[in-house]
């Protein structure tokens, strides 16, 4: 499938659970806070929309969740699976049944012990992960207090999924006798100490934490929606740390002697999503022409100020375990792009710079809803200019996300520029976006579907490594 | 006057009903499937399936015909139940009341800043027409109207917080936190009010009663303050009333820059999420505020100019 010629990765985001237990404080750090030894103030762009595992924590809420709640399985910095609340696990029945051996001596923030019952509650029917049908269980049994058996409806690499911070372990005491949600009660290194809506969230060190206790006594998450204000707050010393630094500000921040910028490549990938079900992109040569016409290196260098890595056709970030370093990448080649267009019957016969076929100009719409990051619009404009040189007349349409979703559902688009999407852990789940069963796919290829399904369900590392390569 | 107020209050209900009908049906005309947007807000775009969207459509009653949905909503509102936010599940009234005081505080402070700048500048410009004071005042007003909120806000933060270290960059709290957002929001309205005050004062100063007052030998200060300004104030009061309403709902950008937890951002987020219950709640609130302000403005007219009388009242 040819849907990813354009991919950029950003280095400025931070990994979840950064300061859990390890005492490492900063992605970018200001020096001004008077009590920075014990209290860390972090700017986040959005408030926690929910504390209850029956809903989905979105945006920056997940960074806060990761301090309070923990998962059965964790990821290390290189995205390898490591023990979390489960010390070990094993698969049976080809990955349909999973047994998790739980860590002993762990207490929830209200003092109740962490046992198999809490795991059963955390994946019961009321929880988001089950409601959303992302994981489909036949049953979850507590074999004893510290052993849980998950029986899935189909083979699935369950430990990978259970690293997701939105699907953590919460105490059954989070609910009152009537079943109403009361408070977030997790096992994490910090517990909730205060939440002023749209203002700040305060978490304090949990003294009975099972792991290494954090050096910080308190972390204050200040909600500052505007990215420019976040940067100014860091510069003025009102906050100690930013989680997502706007690309255009990084260079300036690096010049400030009081601020340290830590860079790390993330799993996020910006990519173009083709509508393969209608002309012109139903034609593979047109998709290839786009891939050759776009110079991702130049976009990373000039538009993103050198932050990130040019994907050049890689479907996902090279930091992912299953990425293929030997994958042949696209090099910008305008002549080749024009040849491919010509092979598909598109030629600029009237000399206006726009190719045409049967008298019809090669006009395409590029949709973008820059809600996640302002960089998306700049990227879209760069793509527009680069495609113009090959003979495409691109109209960039900046839309509100609901309007974009409607056009996408209707199949009324040519190209969409989007970011991230279903990316966590070592396995590139976003390949599922292009599975023909996904209602937003607009692409149908039985061979691709088969590979995605195989990659999703197999527990054979050899197969897992080769599958995304073939599907990507 | 009392009858007038009573009638106006009665009209309020009609106005609010009309506003809710309009917003409800207009929002449904906007692109985007509300069930899908609610599903995205509730479950995230990452894992969304058609099944989930259909479940939400059914459970939230979004599958019923529009007029039925509206009637159901209205029935509950009349009984004091504004429902729950579709995306967060929190009670709408609670969500709004939590943020309304912050918005009200900001709007009042901005209005005070605006008047403190606008009235002296407007009056001075009119009294010293075509002087340096006038040119400077009006140039300042022109800049005030043209400068976008987000830019001015960031400049003020740079100056007062980053360089001088006098005020916090952002956040909700006391006067120190309020100063910069109020100044940002107030300056644009000050510019408009200053221009209006100037032209209104100029007109008042050219009236016969001003010549009479001066001929009586009244000091210029008294002529300007008591005779001219009072009469010039009627259009200004109308403008201030309207501006106050806009300050309440139009503070979105300022709220966002200064991380001020007001209703503006709540409403914008609700619109993006197609959270009808929350949108309607905010709309009712804003409609109430507008009606109340208009009522206050009408009453102020009478106090400012005794010649203005409302229907049914005997003329002296």
Residue A402 is predicted with a pLDDT of 83
Q: Which of A224, A371, A403 sits opposite B170 (nearest CB)?
A: A224
Per-residue model confidence (pLDDT) at position B243: 82
3-state SS class at A257: coil
- Among B40, B172, B274, whose Cβ lies nearest the Cβ of A199? B172
The answer to whether residue A429 scores a pLDDT higher than 80 is no
Q: What is the mean pLDDT of residues B26-47?
A: 78
Residue whose C-alpha is closest to residue A264's, from A7, A75, A14, A59: A14
Q: Is 80 exceeded by the pLDDT of residue A20?
A: no
Flag whether residue B59 sits within 8 Å of chain A, measured between CB atoms. Answer: no
Rounded Cα–Cα distance for residues A166 and A58 (Å): 8
When pLDDT is averaged across residues A444-469 and rounded to a whole number, the result is 77
Q: Supply A389's token pair.
A: 């040189």
Round the average pLDDT of chain A to a whole number and report it: 84
B158 part of contact set with chain A, CB < 8 Å: yes
Supply the pTM of this predicted model.
0.85
Dihedral angle, C-alpha B53, A269, A471, A314, nearest 10 ° = 160
Q: Is B99 on the interface with A (CB under 8 A)?
A: yes
% of chain A exceeding 70 in pLDDT: 88
Q: Least CB-CB distance to B46: which of A200, A225, A421?
A: A421
Q: What is the pLDDT of residue A200?
A: 94
pLDDT over threshold 50, residue A416: yes
Question: A-B interface: how many C-beta pairs under 8 angstroms?
Answer: 115
Distance CA A4, CA A415 (A): 11
Predicted confidence at residue B268, as pLDDT, reads 85
Backbone angles phi, psi at A205, to 5 degrees: -60, 135
> Which of A432-441, B141-150, B297-306 has the least mean pLDDT?
B297-306
Cβ-based neighbours of A172, under 8 Å, separated by 6 or more: A117, A118, A121
Q: Is the pLDDT of residue B101 over 70?
A: yes
Q: Is the pLDDT of residue B56 over 70?
A: yes
Q: Does B45 touch chain A (CB under 8 A)?
A: yes
Size of chain A in residues: 472
Instruction: Kindly give the residue spans of alpha helices, DSSP state H, lying in A197-246.
Output: 227-236
Contacts of A371 in chain B (CB under 8 A): 272
For the four alpha carbons of B218, B220, B222 and B226, in that order, the dihedral sign comes to positive
Calpha distance A405→A424 (Å, rounded)? 23
Contact B84, B90 (CB under 8 A): yes
Average confidence score pLDDT of chain B: 84
Residue A17: half-sphere exposure toward Cβ, Cα within 13 Å: 21
Lowest mean pLDDT among A56-70, B24-38, B94-108, B256-270: B24-38
Cβ–Cβ below 8 Å for A402 and B32 = yes
- At residue B202 the predicted structure's pLDDT band, cuts being 50, 70 and 90, is confident
DSSP, collapsed to helix, strand or coil, labels residue A137 as: strand
What is the gyration radius of the CA atoms in chain B, in angstroms? 24
Confidence of residue A469 (pLDDT cuts 50, 70, 90): low
- A207: exposed, middle or buried (C-beta count within 10 Å: 0-12, 13-18, 19+)? exposed
Q: Distance between CA A38 and CA A42 in Å, rounded?
A: 13
Residue B85 above 60 pLDDT? Answer: yes
A58 vs B contacts (CB less than 8 Å): 41, 44
Q: What are A56-77's pLDDT values in tens digits?
A: 888 889 999 999 999 999 988 8
pLDDT at B32: 78
Mean pLDDT along residues B255-283 = 87
State the pairing for strand pair A39-44/A218-223: parallel
* Greatest extent of chain A over all pairs of C-alpha atoms, in Å: 77
Spatial separation of the C-alpha atoms in residues A424 and A123, rounded to whole Å: 19
pLDDT over 50 at A25, yes or no: no
CB of A166 within 8 Å of a chain B CB? The answer is yes
| Whether residue A280 has a cis bond before it, omega within 30° of 0 | yes
Q: Which residues of B touch A401 (CB under 8 A)?
A: 272
- The three-class DSSP label of residue A198 is coil
Tokens of A6: 């354009």
B268: nearest CA in chain A?
A400
């Amino acid at each position: 499938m040819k849907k990813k010629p354009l991919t950029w990765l950003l280095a400025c985001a931070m990994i979840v659970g950064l300061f859990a237990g390890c005492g490492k404080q900063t992605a970018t750090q200001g020096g001004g806070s008077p009590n920075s030894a014990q209290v860390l103030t972090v700017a986040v762009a959005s408030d926690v929309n929910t504390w209850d595992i029956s809903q989905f924590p979105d945006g920056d809420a997940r960074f806060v969740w990761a301090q309070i709640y923990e998962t059965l399985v964790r990821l290390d910095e290189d995205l390898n699976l490591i023990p979390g609340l489960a010390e070990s696990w094993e698969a049976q029945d080809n990955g349909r049944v999973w047994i998790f051996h739980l860590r002993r001596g762990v207490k929830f923030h209200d003092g109740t012990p962490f046992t198999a019952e809490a795991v059963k509650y955390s994946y019961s029917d009321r929880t988001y992960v089950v409601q959303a049908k992302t994981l489909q269980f036949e049953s979850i049994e507590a074999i004893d207090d510290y052993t849980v058996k998950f029986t899935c409806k189909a083979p699935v690499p369950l430990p990978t999924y259970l690293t997701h911070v939105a699907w953590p372990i919460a105490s059954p005491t989070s609910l009152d006798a009537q079943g109403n949600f009361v408070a977030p009660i997790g096992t994490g290194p910090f517990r909730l100490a205060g939440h002023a809506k749209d203002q700040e969230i305060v978490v304090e060190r949990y003294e009975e934490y099972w792991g290494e206790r954090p050096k910080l006594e308190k972390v204050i998450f200040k909600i500052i929606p505007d990215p420019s204000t976040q940067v100014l707050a860091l510069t003025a010393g009102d906050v100690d740390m930013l989680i997502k630094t706007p690309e255009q500000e990084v260079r300036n921040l690096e010049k400030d002697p009081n601020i340290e910028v830590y860079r790390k490549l993330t799993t996020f990938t910006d990519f173009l999503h083709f509508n393969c079900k209608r002309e012109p992109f139903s034609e593979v040569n047109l998709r290839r022409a786009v891939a050759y016409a776009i110079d991702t290196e130049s976009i990373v260098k000039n538009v993103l100020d050198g932050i990130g890595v040019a994907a050049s056709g890689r479907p996902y970030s090279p930091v992912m375990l299953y990425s293929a370093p030997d994958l042949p990448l696209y090099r910008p080649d305008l002549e080749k792009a024009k040849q491919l267009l010509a092979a598909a019957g598109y030629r600029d016969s009237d000399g206006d710079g726009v190719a045409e076929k049967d008298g019809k100009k090669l006009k395409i719409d590029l949709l973008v809803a820059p809600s996640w990051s302002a960089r998306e619009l700049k990227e879209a404009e760069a793509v527009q200019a680069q495609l113009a040189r090959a003979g495409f007349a691109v109209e960039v349409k900046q839309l509100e996300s609901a309007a974009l979703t409607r056009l996408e559902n209707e199949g009324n688009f040519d190209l969409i520029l989007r970011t991230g999407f279903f990316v966590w852990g070592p396995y590139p789940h976003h390949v599922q976006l292009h599975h023909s069963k996904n209602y937003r796919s607009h692409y149908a290829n039985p061979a691709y579907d088969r590979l995605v399904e195989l990659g999703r369900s197999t527990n054979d590392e050899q197969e897992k490594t080769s599958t995304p390569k073939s599907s990507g | 006057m009392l009858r007038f107020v009573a009638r106006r209050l009665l009209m309020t209900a009609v106005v609010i009903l009309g506003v809710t009908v309009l917003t409800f049906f207009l929002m449904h005309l906007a692109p985007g499937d509300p069930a899908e947007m609610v599903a995205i807000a509730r479950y995230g775009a990452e894992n969304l399936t058609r099944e989930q969207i259909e479940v939400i459509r059914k459970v939230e009653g979004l599958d019923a015909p529009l007029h039925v949905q509206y009637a159901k909503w209205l029935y509950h509102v009349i009984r004091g139940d504004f429902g729950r936010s579709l995306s967060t599940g929190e009670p709408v009234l609670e969500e709004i009341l939590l943020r309304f005081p912050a918005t009200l505080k900001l709007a009042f402070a901005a209005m005070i800043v605006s008047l403190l700048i606008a009235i002296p500048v407007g009056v001075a410009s009119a009294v010293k027409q075509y002087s340096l004071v006038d040119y400077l005042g009006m140039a300042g007003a022109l800049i005030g109207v043209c400068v976008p909120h987000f830019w001015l806000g960031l400049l003020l933060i740079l100056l007062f917080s980053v360089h001088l270290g006098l005020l916090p960059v952002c956040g909700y709290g006391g006067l120190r936190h309020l100063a910069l957002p109020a100044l940002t929001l107030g300056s644009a309205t000050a510019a408009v009010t200053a221009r209006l005050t100037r032209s209104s004062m100029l007109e008042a100063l050219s009236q016969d009663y001003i010549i009479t007052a001066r001929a009586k030998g009244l000091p210029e200060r008294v002529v300007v303050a008591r005779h001219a300004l009072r009469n010039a104030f009627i259009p200004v009061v109308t403008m201030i009333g309207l501006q106050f309403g806009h300050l309440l709902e139009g503070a979105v950008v300022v709220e966002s820059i200064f991380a001020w937890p007001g209703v503006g951002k709540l409403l914008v987020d609700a619109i993006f999420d197609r959270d009808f219950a929350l949108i309607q709640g905010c709309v009712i609130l804003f409609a109430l505020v507008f009606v109340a302000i208009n009522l206050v403005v009408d009453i102020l007219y009478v106090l400012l100019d005794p010649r203005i009388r409302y229907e049914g009242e005997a003329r002296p």
